[in-house]
Amino acid sequence: MDKIIISGRKKLHGKVSISGAKNAALAILPAAALSDGVCRIENVPNISDITLMCKLLENIGVNVKMLNKSTIEIDPGNMRCEVASYEIMRNIRASCYLLGALLGKFNESKVYLPGGCDFGIRPIDQHLKGFKALGADYSLDAGMVQVRCDKLTGSNVYLDVVSVGATVNILLAAVKAEGLTVIENAAREPHIVDLANFLNCMGADIVGAGTDIIKIRGVKTLSGTNYSIIPDQIEAGTYLTIAAATAGDITIENITPKHLESITAKLKEIGVEIYEYGDSIRAKGNEDLKKCNVKTMPHPGFPTDMQPQITSLLSRAVGTSIVNEAVWDNRFRYIEELRRMGANISVDGRLAVIEGVKDLIGAPVKATDLRAGAALVIAGLSAKGKTIIEDIKHIERGYENMVEKLQSIGAEISKIRETDTQEEVG
Ligand code: EPZ
């Protein structure tokens, strides 16, 4: 198992280029399988979740070709309506998008219940509510869900809870349904807008993505197209937080500042200087981090996928900060690891109460999920001494070349392979 070693307290300076958005790519790749032609998708992040999604699509006959490290060609010509590999499906949440893609393509689908980051129950009742509204029946048995119908017919769906996954899956099932589908209380994330834009490039008829009401008029065919994925606002927010945590001066490039508004607003509240340009943002940190309160919300609120990172930053802010994780049941498992580094944080249900400490001290810690791993990297970069992070496979699910990007802005960080001799790997 690879580990990351960090010697902290270095002020990081320089430029970081942001990769394509993981959660947009994980929706757009299965959406490309709905096409009757070949799609070329550019700016795809080179991360393990994408590798798994490509394997999943190949598993059901889709021809996936890596044209270069960030461009993928999807040819669904030989796609079959069958169950993909359990081993792959259990590892990524986005595998549940095969439900909507197969249903939209073949009027039936049968998949294993999805896996992904473990922070509480991750139901799919809203996905199934949407499929049912479109005329499909479903059954759950032996860890699998089967959905089928004679014909998909447009309908109204009011989501009981704002769900990114359910919004994605209903879009995938509705684009070729007969008539009009209206999704109310829809997710508004940038990756939902990116998916809708991609589907429209293929010939779909979707309006309202980015608002809480999305209207989809079914079309008969979807043709191949070329498309470039939006930048990853969570990767971008993570590097801005690193600038704040190391009192450094980092410019992130190839981004859409509007996608990060709630993140930059919070960093300004904490005392970070933020300078916005057309497709880049500069963050200048300082030693005096100000306490503040955070509540995670669906977009355009503060994103839950930035909660561990901002909590790690606030662990060194003067005073008491309160973080309310209002989206997930149990997304504070990483705090136990921050405590090993001297953080003074107590957790009560969905609330974390942070008493800022002057310094964190490097220690051996373990990444429990993707963004928890990012939080530990942030803590290690700002801590005194050496931090060793285990289980970094979680980090590599969503951050392309994180060690190399951090080395390029002055971090003393490296990756070692867990063998008899601790060989350096990057
Ligand atoms: C997506 O997960 C993201 N994953 C998550 O990012 C992100 O945390 C989440 O959206 C919220 O933004 C991908 O895009 C692959 P939800 P998803 O459905 O779709 C409840 C990362 O770090 N809910 O929006 O699974 C659910 O329990 C990952 O990149 C239902 O009750 O999230 C949760 O409380 C981690 N019933 C809330 O809605 C349902 O049918 C939001 O979940 C579906 C969801």
For 35-76, write each residue's pLDDT tens digit: 999 999 999 999 999 999 999 999 999 999 999 999 999 999
Question: Which residues neighbour 87 within 8 Å (Cβ) at sequence distance 6 or greater?
Answer: none
pLDDT of residue 142: 84
Q: How far is the CA of 163 from the centre of ligand 1 (A)?
A: 6
The sheet that has 273-276: what strands, in order across it? 13-17, 249-253, 280-284, 273-276
Ligand 1 close to Cβ of residue 327 (< 6 A): yes
Dig out the tokens for 339 from the structure. Answer: 């405590």
Q: Taking the model in full, what pTM does it have?
A: 0.96
Ligand 1 atom index nearest CA of 371: 22
Q: Which helix (H) or strand (E) holds 423?
A: strand 423-424
CB burial of residue 328 (10 Å; 0-12, 13-18, 19+)? middle
Closest of 401, 311, 376, 308 to residue 6, by C-alpha: 376
Residue nearest to atom 14 of ligand 1 (CA): 23
Query: Letter for the amino acid at 146?
Result: Q
Ligand 1 close to Cβ of residue 128 (< 6 A): no
Ligand 1 close to Cβ of residue 92 (< 6 A): no
Dig out the tokens for 164 from the structure. Answer: 């990114």
- Spell out, as residue ranges, where the chain has pLDDT lower than 70: 116, 119-121, 419-426
Strands (E), 175-212: 180-184, 205-207
The whole-angstrom separation of Cα 176 and Cα 221 is 7
Ligand 1 atom index nearest CA of 299: 12
CB burial of residue 419 (10 Å; 0-12, 13-18, 19+)? exposed
Query: Letter for the amino acid at 286?
Result: N
Ligand 1 close to Cβ of residue 309 (< 6 A): no
Q: Which tens digit of pLDDT belongs to each residue from 253-290?
A: 999 999 999 999 999 999 999 999 999 999 999 999 99
Catalytic site residue 117? yes
pLDDT of residue 426: 43
The whole-angstrom separation of Cα 227 and Cα 40 is 6
Q: Which domains does the chain have, with CATH numbers?
A: 2-19+231-425 (3.65.10.10), 22-228 (3.65.10.10)
pLDDT of residue 116: 67
Q: Which helix (H) or strand (E) holds 127?
A: helix 125-133
Place of tokens 């109204």: 156
The whole-angstrom separation of Cα 131 and Cα 153 is 10
Rounded to whole angstroms, the maximal C-alpha distance in the chain is: 63
* Cβ count within 10 A of residue 210: 17
